[in-house]
Amino acid sequence: MSNTFATELMPRILAGALTVLREEMVIATKVTKDFNGAAGQLGQTVSVAVPQAMDSYNITPAATAPALVDARFLAQTVTIDTWKGSRFNLSSTDMLNYNLQNSQIVPNQIAEAARRLARDVNQAIFAKYTKIYGYTGNAAAALFGSNINNLADVDYRLNLQLCPAANRIVAIGLADRQDALKLDDVKKNPQLAGDTEAYRRASLGMLYGFDVLHDRDTPTHTAGTITVPANVTVNANTAKYSTTVVIACGVGAATAIKIGDVIQFGTPAGQYNLYAAQNDLTISANSTGSLTLDRPLDAALLAATAVAFPTGYGSGVQCIAGDPAGFALVMRVPGDSLEGAPTLGPSMAMVDPQTGIPLKLTYLPGYHAAQFELSALFGTDLIDGRRLTRVATYHA
């Protein structure tokens, strides 16, 4: 078996694992991807291009062309900050049977290891919800409690943010999926009735222009508090494009803002009027404190402008809706161990030809038995907040 171990068994294990990842990474395969087959390392940063809104202009025929202007490019930096592994054991008999294609047990072990890595990637993406400033829904009511009409509000929020109309999804939790399956709006959805692959893809069909997916890892947010909102205000005039706002709590007022809380200033109108807090901030009565925002202010703020949470805000599950390209996922092949590190057996990397997902398999030798380790090296971040919104929902 030693002559065929690396050339036959390891490629077969990797191929099976990559097939599972391809099927399990529902959200990850839809985000902006940078899957490079080259080796990477923890802490490495990668620049990801972000599409920008463009201006148009009037064309006036003339003898000479107008002066050239600089093209605008924006790149967000994503740090490769996660290296996850999942191990499974094989005896020498297991390895021989698998190599001879006589066992169905070993492939299931491989599938579970790969499925764990897929979930790790999904969870890492959802963890970036704290940078999403879009907000709709009601933290005290179920998203699909009686109908699908709440998706119309989600559509409106995304349109205000100039999110592209194509490629929109809404990722819901298991309880919301259960609610949706009971609704006539869904049962009679012609998109679902005509799509035999819908359930395999974790899809409930298209509703209000959204491809409805479910995921057990949709994030849960614990909201902060603002007591006596009328007495919680902006402390001083704050310039447009500022990312820090000083907040004042007056008589009887206090705040305990949490990272990821969505904040609004005054009674805003227009496209961008919500901001996500990027630091915990506790302020007692008759005191001030500085709040860091996820992005620059869209307009200047006047002193005494009210500070509040949006309507329907509160703790609970945060479904994610919009164009998933607002997230970025960067994956690299983990490098080899350093010389002098504990002894490992051979390793092999493979890139899925369909999705570009890279994965590494390492053999950890033992006595008449062995462990194998599947590993993935990746980083993720929110790169374009215009494309996404949170959708609050509630289940007792």
Domain boundaries, the chain: 5-51+74-128+326-386, 134-217+316-324, 224-308
226-244: per-residue pLDDT in tens?
999 899 999 999 999 999 9
67-107: per-residue pLDDT in tens?
776 655 577 889 999 999 998 877 666 666 666 555 444 46
Q: Tell me what pLDDT residue 3 has.
A: 43
> Which strand ranges, in their side-by-side order, compose the sheet holding 281-283?
225-227, 254-257, 281-283
How far apart CA 322 and CA 131 sit, in angstroms, is: 14
Predicted model pTM: 0.85
Q: Tell me what pLDDT residue 264 has.
A: 93
Topology alike, domains 5-51+74-128+326-386 and 224-308: no
Low-confidence ranges of the chain (pLDDT < 70): 1-7, 51-55, 69-73, 91-107, 189-203, 268-271, 336-344, 368-369
CATH of 5-51+74-128+326-386, one of 3.30.870.10, 3.40.50.2000, 3.30.2400.30, 3.30.70.260: 3.30.2400.30
> Which strand ranges, in their side-by-side order, compose the sheet holding 287-292?
232-234, 244-249, 287-292
Helical (H) or strand (E) element with 224: none
How far apart CA 242 and CA 293 sit, in angstroms, is: 9
CATH of domain 224-308: 2.40.30
Helical (H) or strand (E) element with 90: strand 82-91
Retrieve residue 315's tokens.
Answer: 């703790």
CB distance 313 to 260 below 8 Å: no
> Count of CB atoms within 10 A of residue 96's CB?
14
Which of 160, 170, 221, 126 lies closest to 386 in space, CA to CA? 160
